[in-house]
């Protein structure tokens, strides 16, 4: 990367294909349309999008559910991986392959499920070796969030010798990548899933030492359980998180990023005041640049691209609604990459 002298990121009006969410009688709905680049915000860097992905938030936005889309009309897609076609930002020049997770994409600014995107250069990360652009999209927000979870645990002092780490929602995007990442980084991983029989072999192949049924974690009225794990990466919330905290060893740390089960936290203060545990929230959207870089470096060190390929399927832009419906029905596994240029 060298400084780019071009002073126009986004010039002549041009047509492009993309998903767009618009107001509808019962809220909002998304359609695939021919759009004009005049709708894009004036940001310092313009990307030709190669890949996006389908995350839980994208599924909510595409299926007209509330909680993600904060303005209309809006191009959905919280991830974007693509090629710089113009930039006023000193870090980037034409042809650089970059990736961006969150930063408001697909929530309060146009996102990645379209052939063109405008972004702030200060948020971008260069696609790091050993990943191809498609693999960077497979990592996406889910993998980026898993990496932020591991960074948070290690900032609290967690190390492999302190004991196992529990990953909840292990069959999903965040969970699958968390299992692979933690295992490669030397942790003993306990993977909790609602589909233990179906996913046992897959999670073991990713590096899980044990696969447990998430029903086993429900607190059953007891605020404290046997101390089993030293850390937790939770993506589901609800009673599963309460159970994960009940089984956390003294001075252990849990991170929570998601609410796939519930946004409620039917927990108890006893793990905090009798075992000195910590619970840390993860917000991938507003992550500062330094931490973005650190998370991607961690992924480059500890996420085997071949394992990533094994939990990824790739779909064309037109197929994202079916993928979103399956994800909200809890039928998804691993990661879904959207090849924005495929027809």
Ligand X SMILES: NC(=O)c1ccc[n+]([C@@H]2O[C@H](COP(=O)([O-])OP(=O)(O)OC[C@H]3O[C@@H](n4cnc5c(N)ncnc54)[C@H](OP(=O)(O)O)[C@@H]3O)[C@@H](O)[C@H]2O)c1
Size of interface with ligand X, in residues (CB under 6 A): 32
Phi, psi of 20, deg, nearest 5: -145, 135
- CB of 48 or CB of 265, closer to ligand X: 265
Question: Minimum CB separation from ligand X for residue 68, in Å?
Answer: 8
Query: Whole-angstrom Cα distance, residue 101 to residue 118?
Result: 13
Distance of closest approach, residue 89 Cβ to ligand X, in angstroms: 24
Helices 289-302, 173-184: crossing angle, 10 deg rounding: 70
Q: CA-CA distance, 185 to 204, in Å (whole number)?
A: 15
141 binds ligand X (CB under 6 A): yes
Measured from each CB, the residue nearest to ligand X is 172
Q: CB-based contacts of 19: which residues, under 8 Å, 6+ apart? A: 30, 31, 32, 33, 62, 75, 76, 77, 113, 114, 317, 320
State in angstroms the smallest separation of the CB of 324 from ligand X: 10
Residue with smaller CB distance to ligand X, 46 or 141 = 141
C-alpha distances out from residue 23 to 36, 58, 62, 69, Å: 18, 17, 12, 11
Q: Taking the complex as a whole, how short is the minimal distance between the CB of residue 240 and ligand X, in angstroms? A: 5
Closer Cβ to ligand X, 282 or 298, answer by number: 282
Residue where the block lists tokens 């991170």: 255
- Contact between residue 114 and residue 35 where contact means Cβ atoms under 8 Å apart: yes
**Span 299-328, contacts to ligand X by CB under 6 A:** 327
Pick the closest to residue 68 from 27, 33, 36, 97 (CA basis).
27
Q: Which of residues 1 and 218 has its CB atom nearest to ligand X in the complex? A: 218
Chain positions 222 to 281 lying near ligand X, rule: CB under 6 A, are: 235-236, 240, 257-261
Under rule CB under 6 A, which residues in 42-101 are in contact with ligand X?
55-57
- What is the rounded CA–CA span in Å between residue 177 and residue 295? 13
Of 85-93, 172-180, 244-252, 315-323: span binding ligand X (CB under 6 A): 172-180
Closer CB to ligand X, 84 or 260, in the complex: 260
Q: Which is nearer to ligand X, 232 or 235 (CB)?
A: 235
Which of 174, 217, 248, 308 binds ligand X (CB under 6 A)? It is 174
CB of 80 to ligand X, least distance (A): 15
Least Å distance, CB 245 to ligand X, is 15
CA distances, 237 to each of 8, 98, 169, 241, 254 (Å): 44, 32, 9, 5, 11
Q: Is the peptide bond before 186 cis (omega within 30 degrees of 0)?
A: no
Least gap, CB of 171 to ligand X (angstroms): 3
φ, ψ at 48 (rounded to 5°): -90, 115
Residue closer to ligand X (CB basis): 18 or 334: 334
Smallest distance, Å, CB 95 to ligand X? Answer: 29
Q: Which residues bind ligand X (CB under 6 A)?
A: 55-57, 141-142, 145, 169-175, 193-195, 214, 235-236, 240, 257-261, 282-285, 327, 330, 332
């Amino acid at each position: 990367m060298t400084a780019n002298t071009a002073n126009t990121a986004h010039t002549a009006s041009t047509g492009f294909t993309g998903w767009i969410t618009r107001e509808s009688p019962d809220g909002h709905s998304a359609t695939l349309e021919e759009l004009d680049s005049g709708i894009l915000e004036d940001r310092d860097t313009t990307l030709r999008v190669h890949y996006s992905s389908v995350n839980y938030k994208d599924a909510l936005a595409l299926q007209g559910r509330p909680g993600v889309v904060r303005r209309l009309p809006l191009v959905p897609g919280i991830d974007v991986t693509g090629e710089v076609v113009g930039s006023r930002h000193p870090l980037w020049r034409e042809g650089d392959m970059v990736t961006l997770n969150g930063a408001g994409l697909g929530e309060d600014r146009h996102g990645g499920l379209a052939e063109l995107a405008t972004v702030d250069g200060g948020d971008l990360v260069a696609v790091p070796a050993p990943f191809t652009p498609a693999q960077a999209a497979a990592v996406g927000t889910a993998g980026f969030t898993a990496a932020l979870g591991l960074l948070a645990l290690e900032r609290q002092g967690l190390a492999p010798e302190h004991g196992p780490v529990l990953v909840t929602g292990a069959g999903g995007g965040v969970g699958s990548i968390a299992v692979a990442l933690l295992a490669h980084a030397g942790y003993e991983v306990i993977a909790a899933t609602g589909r233990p029989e179906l996913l046992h072999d897959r999670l073991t192949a990713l590096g899980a030492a044990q696969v447990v049924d998430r029903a086993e974690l429900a607190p059953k009225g007891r605020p404290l359980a046997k101390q089993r794990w030293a850390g937790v990466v939770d993506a589901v919330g609800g009673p599963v998180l309460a159970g994960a905290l009940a089984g956390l060893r003294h001075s252990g740390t849990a991170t929570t990023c998601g609410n796939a089960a519930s946004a409620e936290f039917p927990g108890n203060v006893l793990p905090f005041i009798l075992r000195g545990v910590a619970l840390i929230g993860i917000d991938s959207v507003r992550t500062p640049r330094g931490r973005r870089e650190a998370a991607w470096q961690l992924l480059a060190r500890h996420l085997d691209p071949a394992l990533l390929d094994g939990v990824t399927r790739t779909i064309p832009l037109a197929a994202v609604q079916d993928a979103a419906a399956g994800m909200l029905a809890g039928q998804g596994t691993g990661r879904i990459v959207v090849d924005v240029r495929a027809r």
